[in-house]
A and B are shown apart, each in its own frame.
Chain A
Amino acid sequence: MHKVLMVLRREYFESVKKKAFWIGTLIFPFFIVGIFAIQILASAIQTDSAKRIGVIDATGRIAAPFAEELSERKLKDGSPRYPVEIIEPGSSTEETRIASLGRVESGELYGLVTIGPDIDEKENFRLDWKNFGDKRTEDALERAIQDHVRGIRLERSELDLDPKKLGELTAWVRLNTYQVTDSGETKKKGFEEAFIPTMIFVMMLYFLIYFHGYAMTRGIIQEKSSRVMEVLLGSVSPNELMAGKILGIGLVGLTQVGIYMISAYAARTAALFWWNLGDLERLADIIAPGKLLAFGVYYLFGYFIFVSIFAIVGAACNTDQEAQQLQLPIVGCLMLPMMTTFFFVANPSSLGATVLSLIPLFTPMVMFMRISVVTPPMWQIALSILLMGGTVYLFFRAAAKVFRIGTLMYGKRPTVRELWRWSWS
C-alpha cells in the first residue's frame, strides 16, 4: 500500500506542480463555452445580412402586400431584412420561374417565391432556394403569404368579416413550456435551455475523461521510452505501479472537477444571494448542486472505466503514433454518446436512451444527460452504478494482466487479438 501511495504521490504532484495544469484548468471551461458562443455568434452574423426575395405572383394580388409585410422585418441597422423584388409573371408563370432560377443559383436572389393562379391548389405556393435549413426565413415567408391568402379566401366566401379581425381571432397560439420537477414545482424551460447546458456538461465530461485517460497512455509510453519502467519494476509490482498511476491521475482529474464544482456552486450561491431575479433562478438551475454532484460521480466512473483501456494501449505501444491509432476505438466509444445528445435531450426516457444509459461504456455520459433533463427512475441509476462498478473491476483486472506482459515489451506492437488473449488469460 505504501508503494501504491508513493507512485500516486509522484503522479499527482508532478502534474499539479506544472503551470500547464493550472492554465489548462482555467482555460478549459471558457474553451467549451467558447465553442457554443462561436456557433451562436456565427449564426447571428449570418442571419444579419439582407436576403433578397423574388416573388412571381400569378394572382396579382398577393405580391404587393407580401412585400409590404416583409418590409416590416428590419435588420439591426434599420434596413429591410428581406428586400422583395416583384417579378412580372408574363405570359407563363412557370416559364418566368424557370427563367429566374439562374438568379437564385448565382446568389443574386436568396429565394424565389412563386404563387400560382389557384390559391386552393395544394401545389400552388412554391419556394425555390438553396439554403434548405433556414427555418427562420421559411417561417417569415410563409406567414407573410398566409395572412393575405386568408384575406382573399375570406373575401371570396362573402362572409362579412374584417380580415384584420379574423387575423386576430385565428392568431397562432404559442405554447410556453414548463418543466415539472420531482419536487412538484414547475419551471419555465424550453428545448434550447435544456440542450445547451447539457451539451456543455457532456462535452466537458468527454474532454476530461479523454485528457486524463490519455495522460495514462502517455505516461506509460514515456516511462517505457525513457527506460525508467524496468528500474521501477525492480521496486514495485506491475499491479502496484498501475494502481498508483490510475489513482494518481484520477486524483488530478478530481482536483480539476472539484475546482469546477466548487467555483460553480460558489458563483451560483453568490449570484442568488445578491440578485434574486426570476430569470437568474432559471439560470441557476443549470448548475444546481444535485447536477454538479452527478457530474462529479459520472466523471469518476467514466474515468475509471476508460483509464484501464488507456493503460492497455500504453502498455501495448512504444510510441505516441502507435497509441494514436490504437486509441481510435476508445475515442469512438466516447464520441457516440455525445452525438446522441441532441436526440436524447428531446427524448430522455426513450427506449434508446434507457438502453444506452445502461451500457457501462456509454453510461457516464448518457445517464448524466438523462439526469440533467429529467430524473430517471432510481432503479435505473442504481443499476447503472452497479454495472459500471463491475465493469471497472473487470477492466482493471484485464489491464493489470496486459500491463504485466506489455510493459517490458519493446519490439513489435502486439495485435489486438493478442491483447484480447492476454486480457482474459
Chain B
Amino acid sequence: MDAAVVLNDIRKTFGTHRAVDGLSFEIPRGTVFGLLGRNGAGKSTTIRMIMDIIRPDSGSIEILGRPMDGSVKDRLGYLPEERGLYPKMKVLDMLEFFGSVKGLKPAEARRRALPWLERLELADWKDKKVEDLSKGMQQKAQFITTILNEPDVLILDEPFSGMDPVNQEIFRNLLLEISQSGTTLIFSTHVMESAERLCNQIALIDRGRAVLSGSLSSIKRKFGSNTVQLEFDGDGAFLATLPGVVKVHRSKRFVEINMADGEDPQRLLEAAAARLSVRRFEVMEPTLHNIFIDQVGPEAE
C-alpha cells in the first residue's frame, strides 16, 4: 500500500525555538492516523507544513505521491485548530464559497452542501447568517466546509476541542464513516481516549521529534501484553515492590501494572490476593494513555 503522506526529516525553527526538529514518518493510505503529543509538541506546526501553509526550513513532504501544489491541495480537507467562518455570510453561500475554492463549480458545491445540511439538521438555517448559529451548529457548518470536495485525505487539528459530548459522538461516527469510504484521516490530539477509539496508526511526538510511530496494535505489543488491571479494596502500595513489576499507574478505582517480559501475571494475582480483597483482575494491552505518560511524562525526562 502506498503512502498518503510522507514526511522526510522536516525541520522548522521560529526564532530560537525549534518547533519541529527532524521529523520523519509515513501515513499509509486508508488509515486513521493520530498525531499525538503534548501541547506545544509541534503537532499544529507539522500539520500546517503538511498543508503548505508554512514551509519547512529543510526536509521534504510528499502528499499522495507528489510534492505539494494547488491541485494536490484540492484533494485535501483541512480543519485547523482555530476554526473560523465568515460571520456575516449566509450559511449556504459560505459553503458554496469554501467548496468553490477547493476547485468545485459554485453550483456543484451548493448541490453537495444541501444533503449535508439536511443530515446535520441545519437545513432550516441555510439562509441564515453564520453569526446567528449556535456554537454547536457552527461546528457542524465548519465540518461541512472541509468535506465538500470529498477529500482523499482529511486533516483535522484537535477536532474535538470545544465540542460537547453529543457533538463529539456525532463527529466520531461521521469520521468513522468517512474513513470506511476510503479517505485517509489524519488528526492531532492530546486526548488519548479519542485516539484510542479512532486510530489504527499513530505517531507520538515530543519537542518536535517522533518518539513512537507505527500501527497502534504493534506499538501496544511492543509495550508488552504483560499489563494487568487490578481492582481491589485495601492498601495496594506494596504492589510496586513486588518482583517482576515494572511500573504502577494509579487510577481512582483500579491500578494498571506493567510487568517485565516473561513474568507470569498469575504470580502477581496470587501475591495480591494474599493481602488484598481483589474484585477484578484482567490481563490486557497497555492503554495509550499510559504509554503516552511513560514516553513523554515527567518521569521520562
Name the distance in Å between B151's Cβ and chain A's nearest Cβ: 10
| A234 and B53 form a contact (CB under 8 A) | yes
| Residue from the list B53, B76, B84 in contact with A226, Cβ < 8 A | B84
User: What 6 pairs across the A-B complex have the smallest Cβ distances?
Assistant: A227-B84, A234-B78, A228-B84, A6-B100, A227-B82, A230-B80
Other A-B pairs beyond A226-B87, A228-B84, A235-B102, 12, CB < 8 Å: A3-B103, A14-B89, A227-B82, A228-B85, A231-B80, A231-B85, A231-B142, A231-B145, A233-B53, A234-B73, A234-B80, A235-B101
Query: Could you tell me the distance between the alpha carbons of A116 and B149 in the complex, rounded to whole angstroms?
Result: 95
Q: Report B's interface with A, CB cutoff 8 A.
A: 48, 51-54, 70, 73-74, 76, 78-80, 82-89, 97-98, 100-103, 106, 142, 145
Query: Could you tell me the distance between the alpha carbons of A14 and B97 in the complex, rounded to whole angstroms?
Result: 11
Query: Could you tell me the distance between the alpha carbons of A3 and B102 in the complex, rounded to whole angstroms?
Result: 8
Report chain A residues within 8 Å CB of B97: 6, 10
* A-B CB contact pairs (8 Å), 30 listed: A3-B103, A6-B100, A6-B106, A10-B97, A14-B88, A14-B89, A223-B84, A226-B87, A227-B80, A227-B82, A227-B83, A227-B84, A228-B84, A230-B48, A230-B53, A230-B80, A230-B82, A231-B78, A231-B80, A231-B83, A231-B84, A231-B85, A231-B145, A233-B51, A233-B53, A234-B80, A235-B73, A408-B48, A408-B53, A408-B54
Query: Could you tell me the distance between the alpha carbons of A7 and B106 in the complex, rounded to whole angstroms?
Result: 12
| A2 and B103 form a contact (CB under 8 A) | yes
Query: Could you tell me the distance between the alpha carbons of A3 and B83 in the complex, rounded to whole angstroms?
Result: 21
Query: Could you tell me the distance between the alpha carbons of A6 and B98 in the complex, rounded to whole angstroms?
Result: 9
| A230 and B84 form a contact (CB under 8 A) | yes
Name the distance in Å between B79's Cβ and chain A's nearest Cβ: 8
| Residue from the list B48, B51, B70, B101 in contact with A6, Cβ < 8 A | B101
Name the distance in Å between A257's Cβ and chain B's nearest Cβ: 25
| A237 and B78 form a contact (CB under 8 A) | no
Report chain A residues within 8 Å CB of B98: 231, 235
- Nearest to A17 among chain B residues (CB) is B93
Report chain B residues within 8 Å CB of A234: 51, 53, 73, 76, 78, 80
Most buried by B among A6, A7, A223, A229: A6
Name the distance in Å between A294's Cβ and chain B's nearest Cβ: 36
- Nearest to A229 among chain B residues (CB) is B84
Query: Could you tell me the distance between the alpha carbons of A227 and B102 in the complex, rounded to whole angstroms?
Result: 18
A residues 7-65 in Cβ contact with B at 8 Å:
7, 9-10, 14
A140 in the interface, Cβ–Cβ < 8 Å?
no
Query: Could you tell me the distance between the alpha carbons of A227 and B54 in the complex, rounded to whole angstroms?
Result: 16
How many residues does chain A have at the interface if contact means C-beta atoms less than 8 Å apart? 22
The DSSP consensus for interface residues of chain A is: helix
- Nearest to B76 among chain A residues (CB) is A234
A293 in the interface, Cβ–Cβ < 8 Å?
no
Query: Could you tell me the distance between the alpha carbons of A237 and B70 in the complex, rounded to whole angstroms?
Result: 8
Query: Could you tell me the distance between the alpha carbons of A227 and B142 in the complex, rounded to whole angstroms?
Result: 12
- Nearest to B83 among chain A residues (CB) is A227
Query: Could you tell me the distance between the alpha carbons of A10 and B87 in the complex, rounded to whole angstroms?
Result: 14
- Nearest to A230 among chain B residues (CB) is B80
A336 in the interface, Cβ–Cβ < 8 Å?
no
Report chain A residues within 8 Å CB of B89: 14
Name the distance in Å between B88's Cβ and chain A's nearest Cβ: 7
- Nearest to A237 among chain B residues (CB) is B70
A232 in the interface, Cβ–Cβ < 8 Å?
yes
Query: Could you tell me the distance between the alpha carbons of A408 and B55 in the complex, rounded to whole angstroms?
Result: 13
Query: Could you tell me the distance between the alpha carbons of A226 and B87 in the complex, rounded to whole angstroms?
Result: 8
Name the distance in Å between B149's Cβ and chain A's nearest Cβ: 9
A236 in the interface, Cβ–Cβ < 8 Å?
yes
Report chain A residues within 8 Å CB of B54: 408
Report chain A residues within 8 Å CB of B101: 3, 6-7, 232, 235-236
Name the distance in Å between A183's Cβ and chain B's nearest Cβ: 50
Report chain A residues within 8 Å CB of B73: 234-235
A residues 228-279 in Cβ contact with B at 8 Å:
228-237, 240
